[in-house]
Amino acid sequence: MGLLLRERIVFLGNSIDDFVADAIISQLLLLDAQDPTKDIRLFINCPGGSLSATMAIYDVVQLVRADVSTVALGIAASTASIILGGGTKGKRLAMPNTRVMIHQPLGGASGQAIDVEIQAREIMHNKNNIIRIVAGFTGRTIEQVQKDIDRDRYMSPIEAVEYGIIDGVIDRDSIIPLAPVPERVTPTLNYEDMRKGSNEILESRCP
């Protein structure tokens, strides 16, 4: 087992395809089987990727018994923002210079008219499913999310907190909840107890 896995850290640092998804999923399942009472920290620096592969990761994040603390750095865009927001509420974080982006699924169709119609229905199904998921973990209305993902929407960490995708920002000295944390999010961390120095951020008891 690698050093990161020993520390219960999983790193998503590539565009998401089936190969990447299988690797992330296997690590999540392994760590959950080893000790479901300890947090898993999932670091994300990812521009997005395959929707089906992303949904597989998202579903496993919801499945495992251990809390999954998601930590964005660099960028968490497109489908990667779904994984970021799908972490355990109160434990979804970002580094201060991260960019978060949400948008509707991309797709196209060609062939006979009936084939185009089938693909169009599938694209709409995927879009509605994303809207439902994002509305669920942000507390936003279906109508609001539908409007917001119509085009690329980029956010700073502060804006992502306000939107409900994450719960706080990690800086060099502490985890900042950027109070007030939205009421729709119930933090599971005592942020005051965590203002004791940057070294404690990576302790296993911290997300």
User: pLDDT tens across 107-117, in order?
Assistant: 656 667 777 78
Between CA 173 and CA 102 the distance in angstroms is 29
Residue-range domains of the chain with CATH = 3-105+150-202 (3.90.226.10)
What digits encode the pLDDT tens for the residues 37-73?
Answer: 999 999 999 999 999 999 999 999 999 999 999 999 9
Type of residue at 96 = P
Q: Which of 80, 103, 137, 168 is catalytic?
A: 103
> Is 103 labeled as catalytic in the residue annotation?
yes
Please give the model's pTM, rounded to 2 decimal places.
Answer: 0.80
Beta-bridge mates of residue 71: 43, 93
